[in-house]
Chain A
């Protein structure tokens, strides 16, 4: 009998999750099966960032990450950032203030990528933001408001 499933446990948005997954399951599908539909499938080829979540703090493409990667590690999705609209993460607040989205389909991935940037580099220059978001596509906004939002969030987080 060959085993094509694996028992894993890890942390998703601060909660311990233990589950048996098909080895072939992608992290994005696992998350969405758990009701966490914030991360979106779009290109499914690692280029757009709509599926971005943080894995041990760094942004990854959940569309091209195996669910077994969760084992012993920590995943954060957009749903973990705030429980209510009054308690938003500074990046979320900045996205609202700058109107850094339209259809919003790219937004969860953008926000998680931006949050990962600010955790890795609390004082990014404009070029740093552009460089970091190069792999995050938005078809609606023309990006300007997104870059501004990330810079504003950085400032807010620094002034804390």
Chain B
């Protein structure tokens, strides 16, 4: 393929004008004629048998159309779940977490539905509840699922540890090679510790909402989903409909970050529509969103063994994730956390045991980097602790052990498609490592891209312009713009002559997911394949009139004459017409080896600490965007800064706190996400473009990587200032103050010694 001319430039976002004018329509803004409103009645306790639901008062309220329960829609099986079909949209027999929907009130107005929902009386018989993940895995713990949910059998989730699951074990993964015990015995230094990563709420600013309607035997849902095709699968299973009879449409989405992966609120809306025959909208509040999905908290026990010269010999991780009441995507997070804990380093031996536990809390699922920030906290902090113990510079220690381009970090997987050592040099230089205090940094390599199934549809129109129909969702990351750039280059057309339609399963080509940083890379490739297919078709048409046909930008050269696509199409059809190209990639050929690409994290910070109050101020943030080739550099910077900022929240303030069985902070008043004043005075964003990715023009994905190392980096920076490394996030002022107290005696001793 020719060198791109549209890709590689920071072309202004296609969605810009609509968004700054307030005209961009989100699912919440759609005006669906005749829509009624559904409001969920939610459990007020963590674990209880449902004795009865008395909806009589609610039903008597003016404007109330129906009160829907799992029993009232029988024989519909209200359970959903892409990995395990274990999640009832409306509780069946018992509730497994406080906040779980028990009934859905459908009314003419949202106000009426809300009022009525408060009048539904549910009687319960309380059951013992378990909130802590390790408690849940202990013998005799209250059981959440009496019958252990199986797996749906989706091939893409084959690695989600389904064997030997029992009790409250939601998923388990083991990665193991080498002789761990021998390596530990041979080590000069073994660093050991227990690390804690909080449960988080992603706070995409548009809370989950969906509007569903049945029409012509087809269920149509307008929703905030990142993966419309995955939602389609769940809804088809629930209502026993052919895939062709379920249409999922996703307009603009107010933030995703993984939190809108997979099915959330769509079944509620669909059940409401099914029960009432009306279009039904279910729009959650932030509080309800927090009771819908959070991310998996993790406790990580880790050991890292080194030779005195700094050679890393072996690592051992024992991880327990708190995954909440239902599987959602936690089994996949479990697999990813296992693969992302030990870092891009050479190892003689490794053992990672990662277990995901059901608890009586909000179901957990993906959040930006899924698994990586949790694992990286332990993995990278141990590199820093080891460096201190060994008396080796923390950067040199990493350079000594980091894998070089092409080397494997997981046997049998794709070798590393990045130059991490070079990234680390860029990063540490920007941060002034060695020249100033309070610096922390780290590396990460994530097996990204998910299962490489992607299809694309390209249409070349009678005037030579082109459009594509893509299943990937615009979440704000800029996929409309980036994919349009790739389309323009794929056909040799100017940007002004292409357009894109996305995320309507009734119209666009199949896309497995919009997550794992895959869109630019994988959709970009299927889109280029569709461009090639369309060009092939154009050549075929032209060949009916010419002996020699060659590709040319925006058309062909036929017997020496340049013909635009439009000219070829018009000539062939005589009147009207278009050419359609399809592209597909699958786990085959160059995509056979997983992961399709490694997503690199190389970010760091410089911080200062007020030891008296414990307040941490981030003075500088540096991100190195190792994306192979930046199709749109400005958008890559945006993704990197956004990802890093989200993890700064986890590092410093974000944490869902349970008090007994009650969530103490189900709102963004007491759950603090980063504000503008939290941003560092200095932000340095570097691009490393080595064209070493499998995506278009050497690109590979970004959007998560920049955040993956931030938790450990902040902890390391604070630890260096205090003389003791924190092992638990977030570093609230109180935690830092306590750490400073604990470290004070050590420092005094050192001062005496020194």
Contacts and interface: CB of A to CB of B under 8 A. Distances in A.
Please tell me whether chains A and B touch each other in their complex, using a CB distance cut-off of 8 A.
yes
Interface of A: 32, 35-45, 47-48, 50, 77-79, 81-82, 85, 88, 92, 95-96, 99, 101-108, 111, 130-131, 133-147
Contacts of A50: 205
A102 B285 CA distance: 22
Contact of A139 (B19, B646, B683): B646
Most buried by B among A37, A50, A134: A37
A117 B641 CA distance: 25
B205 A99 contact: no
B669 A102 contact: no
Most buried by B among A39, A42, A77: A42
B254 A79 contact: no
Nearest to B209: A41
Interface string B657-679: 00000000001110001111101
B476 A85 contact: no
For the complex of A and B, the 9 pairs showing the least CB-CB separation, nearest first, are A38-B22, A103-B476, A105-B254, A104-B19, A102-B476, A78-B22, A142-B641, A142-B645, A37-B29
B657 to A, nearest CB: 18
B11 to A, nearest CB: 10
B21 interface: yes
A137 B21 contact: no
A145 B638 contact: yes
A125 to B, nearest CB: 14
Contact of B669 (A36, A40, A45, A88): A45
Contact of A43 (B20, B641, B669, B683): B669
B62 interface: no
Contact of B478 (A92, A102, A134, A135): A102
A141 B642 contact: yes
Contacts of A111: 20, 22
Interface in B184-234: 202-207
Contacts, number: 163
Given A96-B16, A104-B15, A85 B675 contact: no
A144 B641 contact: yes
Given A142-B645, A144-B683, A103 B20 contact: no
The majority secondary structure among interface residues of chain B is loop
A144 B22 CA distance: 21
B24 interface: yes
B286 A139 contact: no
Given A82-B21, A102-B478, A144 B254 contact: no
A38 B252 CA distance: 13
Given A103-B254, A103-B475, A133-B676, A96 B17 contact: yes
Most buried by A among B19, B202, B285: B19
B668 A137 contact: yes
Nearest to A25: B111
Contacts of B301: none
Given A50-B205, A141-B642, A43 B676 contact: no
B520 interface: no
B255 A134 contact: no
A108 B252 CA distance: 14
B508 to A, nearest CB: 20
A159 to B, nearest CB: 20
A78 B20 CA distance: 8
B502 interface: no
B238 interface: no
Interface of B: 10, 12-13, 15-26, 28-29, 31, 202-207, 252-257, 285-286, 475-478, 634-635, 638, 641-642, 644-646, 667-669, 673-677, 679, 683
B257 A137 contact: no
Given A37-B25, A134-B676, A142-B642, A105 B20 contact: no
Nearest to B623: A142
B99 to A, nearest CB: 17
A102 B477 contact: yes
A81 B638 contact: no
B475 to A, nearest CB: 6
A134 B517 CA distance: 30
A35 B22 CA distance: 11
B668 A99 contact: no
Contacts of B202: 139
B284 to A, nearest CB: 10
A37 B257 CA distance: 23
Contacts of B21: 38, 78-79, 81-82, 85, 88, 92
A111 B641 CA distance: 20
Contacts of A85: 17, 21
Given A102-B642, A137-B675, 13 more contacts: A32-B29, A37-B28, A50-B205, A96-B13, A96-B17, A99-B634, A103-B475, A137-B203, A137-B668, A139-B257, A140-B642, A142-B645, A142-B674
B12 A40 contact: no
19 contacts: A40-B205, A42-B286, A45-B667, A95-B16, A95-B20, A96-B17, A99-B12, A103-B255, A104-B15, A105-B205, A105-B206, A105-B255, A134-B675, A139-B203, A139-B205, A139-B642, A139-B673, A142-B645, A142-B683
A112 B383 CA distance: 46
Contacts of B20: 78, 88, 92, 95-96, 101, 104, 107, 111
Given A139-B205, A142-B645, A43 B668 contact: yes
A108 B22 contact: yes
Contacts of B673: 137, 139
